[in-house]
Structures are given as C-alpha cells and as structure tokens.
Amino acid sequence: MNLIQLELLHWCHDQNEVIRQLTIHDHPHWQLEFCVKGSIAAHDGKKILTLQPGMVFLVPPQSSHGFQKPHPNTESYSFKFKIEDDTDLSGSRIRLVPPDSLTRWWGRVLLELIADETQGSLIVNHKQDALEYLLLNIMHYVYRGFQKGTALPEPITQLREMVLSEGREINVETAAARLGCTVSSLKYSFARAAKQCPELNGDTSVKRYLDRVCLELVENHLEYSSFSIGRIAETTGFPDIYALSRFYTRMRGFPPSHFKPSG
C-alpha cells in the first residue's frame, strides 16, 4: 500500500457526550475514533463492538457505522479525513484496533498534539501536518498489516474480540458456547491456529490466551482512564475489586495499585 497524502477534514473532542439512539450512517470520507475514557458502543454495520480506552475504530468511506454513548462518563476524539489516492484500500473493512504498545504510543502523541487546540488553532500552530502524518502512520500500520496477512487467524480473533468487549466474563466455556462448538473442539482449533501465529510464541492454551487479553484490557484502563480500581473491575467484568486484584497479582506478581504507565 502506498499512501500518498492524507488531508484532515475535521476533528472534534467529545467529552461526556450522550448518544442514546444508535443511528447507522455512512459518508464519503475516512473516520477514526479514538477512545480515551469509558466504554463506547460502536456498530460496524453488522454487529456492535465495544470501544474501550486506547482502542482505535477505523471506518473506510461509504461504510455503514454508528455510535452509542448511553452514559455521560466517556471521552473520545473523532478525526475525519480523505486520502489522495486510496485505490489500494478499496474494499477495506472497518477495523477495531485493539490496544497494544503502539496504540498507546499513538494515543500519547495524539493527546499531546491536540491538547488545548481548536479546529482553527491546529493549523495556525503548525500541528496539523504532524497530526496528518500520525493518522497516515496509523492507516499504514493497520491496513498494510491486514493486507500482508498478519491478522490473527480465527478463532484467535474471535476470542480476542469477546474479551475486549466483555472482559473477565469470557471464559473457555462461555467462549465455546458463543462460537457454537464444544470446549474440546475450541481447544483443538485454537491450538492449530496458535501454532501458525508467531504472536502467541507457541502457547496453545485457550485459558492463558484469554487471561493475556484480559490483562491487556485491564492495563489499558490503568494507563488511560481515570477510573478507580473498583470501577475498572466493574468495567472489565470482574465481580469485585478483590477478584481483579488477585487476577492481576497472579499475572504480574504485584497488585494493580503498583502499575506504572509505559513511556
């Protein structure tokens, strides 16, 4: 993919915005939503996904989508832009980009670029070029990766989406039920996929994978959100703060209160 030029058309900072009615729509330009705080329901034209802090939701032109924010405790940034020559991206699908070390870096740079800026001052202060370059970098990373076949195979992708949406409520049994298969067949198909996936380092355990993704989700809240640990436990599907603390201590060797942001 050779992206030539990206032009930012509009951006906005939505804080404590309430959208109770889901309105599915499309438009002729690209859109990128970056969640900073809370949970946002994002519709990809077929199903509803949950956008958590640190996640990127990337919408190609003419793609049906919509957002729902039933509660006021959310914060997000929306960027609308066009690409000079996006023929290589024709037929691209909406992407929910899960949090990782790179998306966290994007998030920090985005917030630094646009802090205290307005639609007009971004141009005056010569930050728009930098923002456009960053958006181009995100596009290049996301779509080049999928085009080169580096996307996680099923059922790994399906399991990841479940945990990112519902957190600790997803275990091996519930995941198998959602996928309409037995626990044994899920373990078998996961093991086959895991052996072909370098990111898993040969680990073929479904439970350990679910734990890893859940840990990633928890740490994303710890780094980005202003939620208390009790609120994070509630948001990520743990029954209480003690269950979250036990899980985190088992995974990291120290309690969540000792978490230190990266960077």
pLDDT per residue over 25-83, tens digit each?
999 999 999 998 888 889 988 888 888 888 899 999 999 999 988 777 888 899 999 98
Residue 18 neighbours by CB under 8 Å, 6+ apart: 69, 70, 71, 72
Given a cut of 70, whether residue 87 has pLDDT beyond it is no
The pLDDT value given to residue 208: 96
The per-type count for the chain, helices as H runs and strands as E runs, is 9, 8
CA nearest neighbour of 81 among 55, 61, 109: 61
Q: For the chain, how are helix, strand and coil distributed in percent, rounded to 5?
A: 45, 20, 35
The pLDDT value given to residue 177: 94
Measured N-to-C along each axis, helices 156-166 and 172-179 cross at an angle, to the nearest 10 degrees, of 120
Q: How far is CA 8 from the centre of its chain?
A: 21
pTM to 2 decimal places: 0.58
User: What is the number of other CB atoms lying within 10 angstroms of the CB of residue 84?
Assistant: 9
The pLDDT value given to residue 202: 85
Given a cut of 80, whether residue 211 has pLDDT beyond it is yes
CA nearest neighbour of 223 among 182, 262, 167: 262
* Tens digits of residue pLDDT in 162-199: 898 889 999 999 999 999 999 999 999 999 988 888 77
The pLDDT value given to residue 262: 66
Lowest mean pLDDT among 11-20, 86-95, 208-217, 228-237: 86-95
Rounded to 10 degrees, the C-alpha dihedral 38/230/242/163 comes to: 0
The pLDDT value given to residue 231: 93
Are 204 and 194 within 8 A, CB to CB?
yes
Task: State the average pLDDT for the chain.
Answer: 85
Give me the domains of the chain, ranges plus CATH numbers.
6-147 (2.60.120.280), 156-258 (1.10.10.60)
* Tens digits of residue pLDDT in 118-134: 666 666 567 888 889 89
What integer is the mean pLDDT of 16-32?
Answer: 86
* C-alpha to C-alpha distance for 23 and 68, rounded to whole angstroms: 8
Lowest mean pLDDT among 40-44, 140-144, 198-202, 256-260: 140-144
DSSP annotation of 87 reads G
239-254: b or e for each residue (b if 16 or more CB lie within 10 Å)? eebeebbebbeebeee
